Structure 1
Amino acid sequence: MNHVLCGLAANASLPSELVDRLIADADIALDLAHRADLSHAQAVALASRVGESAVPLAYGGLLTAADVDPATQPNAALALLAERAGRPEWARLLAGDPAVECRKKLAACPGLPPDVVETLASDPDVRVVAELALWTTPETATGLAAHPHAEVRRSVAANEAAPPAVLAALLTGEGLPPTQRCLVCDREEVPFVHDPRCSQLDCDLPPGASCDGSHESAGYETQRMAILNPATPTEAVVGFVGHPSPLLRWALAGRPDLPVEVCARLAVDANPGVRADLAGNPAIDDALIRVLATDRDHEVRRGLAHNPRVPIDVLTHLAGTTRTGAALLPRIASASPDEVERLAGSPNPAARMLVARRRDLPPALRDALAADPDAKVAKSIAPHPGLPECLLRTMLDRHGVRVVAKVAANPDATPALLDDLARHEPPVRKAFREIARHRNASAPALLACLGDPQARRIAAGHAALPPSAIEELLTDTDRQVAEAAAANPSLPLAVMSDLLPRL
């Protein structure tokens, strides 16, 4: 594959006449198929020359039903059917396709004719029926819930359109005929337990899958899917709070409709994964939140920090003892103006750091946090839009290399400031990457970024990079750099044209 031509195919400045010349190259057809400016005629020409390109073109709305022959372009026809832009007769044709993958893709399409649904529901390959069960209507899901194969029942259990009563029945098996087959006994002589360290490269059985004739692991998986399904009634799932399978209790812990007493039992579950998912569940009350805040497991406390209902005082305590990540926490995002002001003025730097991650702070609070003596607070506030350059430079003078990359990430950083950051001693590699993608980066700053291998790949595509440098990067030994340079909208038209004779 010619990576330069792939980049050129994605270049937003590539004129239409050069797109026409590129269409003949099969290797880059898929790159061209994602262009937003393709004309209908170009899309039809591309699909006719390189069949694989028809699928993204169909999904992108650049091909119509009149442009596609389902007999020779089944994947494109499936794409249009998936977008409800195909023809009913296509579905009838494809339902009889000998390729299982084709029928399986068809089964996932919405709005299929009733006769096609009936055909797919009786398909000889269980994978096709299971795919239908996952996406089908309530009426069809009801019928498939009694299917003899466990894989089909599992798909019904995951289908949010399945009726609540059907989902409840799948949890207990009441009112349904016994399951007759599962993926394990389809392939192995029972009893059989699949080795989690299975060395067979073509084996797709789940680790630990087992069957002794009762299809036990498949049954658990059906129950797990039903518990995870929000359409399953609360009263049908709460009885699993004491189930011996930790995977089922784990699935239960994340449901937002749990009664308080069920949450209380899960809060003392022996499995930390169960407690961690419960900790992030908005169904838990303040009393339980404070109990979980003392949990010795880090992931439990981390989950609690991401709970949108965690009290501010608990959250600030957690921030001082738990790695919560750099993202804005939900409770901080929803904090009231009074809470924001209290957090910004807190003597606890962890509290100030949390609120500094917001990007809608009043100017006075924003500027006060920019002058914070704590480097973690400064790093959090540095990318806030609207910060004056003088405050960003003061922050740099106070905290040095600890804040350079975050200052470079400020969307309002000026070209002069970015130039200085690119020359900072000692160099900060993360800063080069931020500068390389910054809209205000100047040519000198971008040229400085080319010395860092990761930033070089980003800077090569920046429109402010000098044309001479872009042209030189077309022959870079790093293919990602060369491709990014070819996709650079500032690549001279003459150079673009000169690249095409290689076809």
Structure 2
Amino acid sequence: MWLELAERDDLSGDQIRLLARRGDAHVVIRLLSRGLLPPDEVDRFDPPVVIAMADIAPIPEDWAWRLAASPDPAIRGALAATTHLPADVVAALADDPDLEVVAEAARSPRISDPLAQRLATHPHLSVRRALACNEHVPSHLLVALAERRAPAAELCPACDGSGHRLAEQWSCDGGHQDALHDLDYALTLNPRTPAETVSRFTAHPSIHVRWRLAVRTDLPQGAYRALAQDPTPGIRGDVAASHPALPAQTIIQLLTDADTSVAAAAAANPSLPEAVMHDLAASDDGSTGTG
């Protein structure tokens, strides 16, 4: 009943405070997420509630430290993932004995540059991969991860003996190749990774890296030309579809692609040269003639 009441739009201030006092953590979290209950009006220490608060606004520092000392790694990890955690608490969680907690600290928007620098050399690739996703990490560190400037990692999910689910899909002969490919994928996801850096992945052995690269719109033209010749039709099609920076010559090349879906995507590209568009319109059926 209390949770249903928390969904109402006609609650008075007194009713909201009453719900917060009588309801459980789910009720308080819902009131917080709807913006009905200011975080500074929450006066009870309840780990799920405090974690929800830390995603909305800064929380009392003593509460943050209490949660950081929780015996439950799930609570410590959830805390590390919040938006408004004090930077010194993030740094403490980066030294947590649980690897997942450390990885969440590496993803934190409150990460400091010195901490990011330290985690970029972490012996486990899962932490480096988490860091590679973080849009608050300085670009030069992302470049360093892409160029493998740090000492080689010692462990990855496929070889650390943890029974990680990825161990069933990945293999490792000591070189952590699958985990390194996943690191590169994370770097292509991160808009802070310079386009010049990720454009070197156009011939990457992982199809996932190349496919993700194909949907970025900030690459040098040479990268699009290379991706337009990728052996995977889906990658060529994504390149053909909508890149405003795609060179006209590359669009024309993709119009004659052996895969009709790629040619159709090129024909719909907004950067298609007007003269070529007129030629397509004047053809018998408006097709690209690729069969």
* TM-score interval for Structure 1 and Structure 2 normalised by the shorter chain: 0.7 to 0.9
- Summarize the alignment of residues 52-71 of structure 1 with structure 2, pairs less than 5 Å apart: 52-63=26-37, 64-70=39-45
Q: Secondary structure at the match of 1:284?
A: coil
Alignment-mate amino acid for residue 121 of structure 1: A
The residue number in structure 2 matching 1:21 is none
**Could you tell me how far apart the structure 2 residues matched to 1:297 and 1:285 are?**
20
Equivalent residue, structure 2, for 1:106: 79
Deviations 1:95-147 (A, max 9, x none): 11222222222112234223211211111111111122123335132221111
- Give the CA deviation at 1:311: 4.7
1:38/1:169 Cα in 2 relative to 1: closer, same or farther (>3 Å)? same
Asked if 2 retains the 8 angstrom alpha-carbon contact of 1:55 and 1:79, the reply is yes
What's the counterpart of residue 254 of structure 2?
A: 292
Structure-2 separation of matches of 1:126 and 1:285: 45
Taking the TM superposition and a 5 Å limit, the aligned residue runs for 1:334-483 are: none
Q: Which moved more, 1:119-128 or 1:227-236?
A: 227-236
Partner of 1:271: 232
Report the Cα offset of residue 217 of structure 1: 1.1
Name the counterpart of 2:121: 146
**Which SS does the other structure have where 2:159 is aligned?**
helix
Partner of 2:158: helix, strand, or coil?
A: helix
User: Separation in 2 of the partners of 1:61 and 1:274?
Assistant: 42
Structure ranking higher on relative contact order (CA contacts 8 Å, 6+ apart)? 1
CA distance in 1, matches of 2:42, 2:268: 49
Change (3 A) 1:141 1:270: same
Question: 1:34 maps to what in 2?
Answer: 7
Q: Secondary structure at the match of 2:137?
A: coil
Distance 1:55 1:317 in 2: 59
| Distance change in 2, residues 1:56/1:313 (3 Å) | farther
Please give the secondary structure, in 2, of the residue aligned with 1:210: coil
- The residue that corresponds to 1:243 in the other structure is 204
Please say which structure displays the higher CA radius of gyration: 1
Distance 2:49 2:263 in 1: 48
- Shift in alpha-carbon separation, 1:272–1:30, aligned structure 2, 3 A: farther
CA distance in structure 2 between the aligned counterparts of 1:270 and 1:42, rounded to whole angstroms: 62
2:228 and 2:254 in contact (8 A); partners too: yes
Partner residue in 2 for 1:184 = 158
- In the TM superposition, what are the counterparts of 1:158-173 in structure 2 within 5 Å? 158-173=133-148
CA displacement at 1:222 relative to structure 2? 0.6
Q: CA deviation at 1:227?
A: 2.3
After superposition, residues 181-330 of structure 1 pair within 5 angstroms as 181-187=155-161, 204-205=165-166, 208-279=169-240, 280-301=242-263, 303-304=265-266, 307-311=269-273
Whichever residue aligns with residue 119 of structure 1, its letter is A
Report the alpha carbon displacement of residue 268 of structure 1 after superposing the two structures with TM. Answer: 1.2
Deviating runs (4+, > 6 A) in structure 1? Answer: 312-318
Shift of 1:277: 2.2
The TM-score, its normalising length taken from structure 1, stands at 0.50
Identity %: 39
2:77 maps to 1:115: no
- Retained in 2: the 8 A contact 1:81–1:87? no
Counterpart contact for 2:59–2:84, Cα < 8 Å: no
Change (3 A) 1:120 1:265: same
Distance in 2 separating the partners of 1:302 and 1:97: 56
In 1, Cα distance between equivalents of 2:68 and 2:123: 21
Q: Structure 1 residues 32 and 247 mapped into 2: Cα distance closer, same or farther (>3 Å)? A: same
Query: What is the CA deviation profile of residues 409-442 of structure 1, one whole-angstrom value per residue up to 9, with x for unaligned ones?
Result: xxxxxxxxxxxxxxxxxxxxxxxxxxxxxxxxxx
Whole-Å Cα distance in 1 between the matches of residues 208 and 107 of structure 2?
A: 21
Q: Secondary structure at the match of 1:187?
A: coil
Alpha-carbon shift at residue 167 of structure 1 (Å): 0.7
Partner-residue secondary structure (3-state), 1:185: coil
Count of matched residue pairs:
281
In 2, Cα distance between equivalents of 1:38 and 1:317: 63
Assess, with a 3 A threshold, how the Cα gap between structure 1 residues 251 and 317 changes in structure 2: closer, same or farther: farther
Q: Deviation per CA, 1:47-101: give whole Å up to 9, x if none.
A: 323332111111222223332412xx21121111111153222211111122222
How far did 1:177 drift? 2.0
Q: Which consecutive unaligned segments of at least 5 residues does structure 2 have? A: 287-291
* Distance in 2 between residues matched to 1:316 and 1:133, nearest whole Å: 52
Given the superposition, is the C-alpha separation of residues 349 and 243 from structure 1 closer, same or farther in structure 2, using an over 3 Å criterion?
closer
Does the CA-based 8 Å contact 1:253-1:281 persist in structure 2?
no
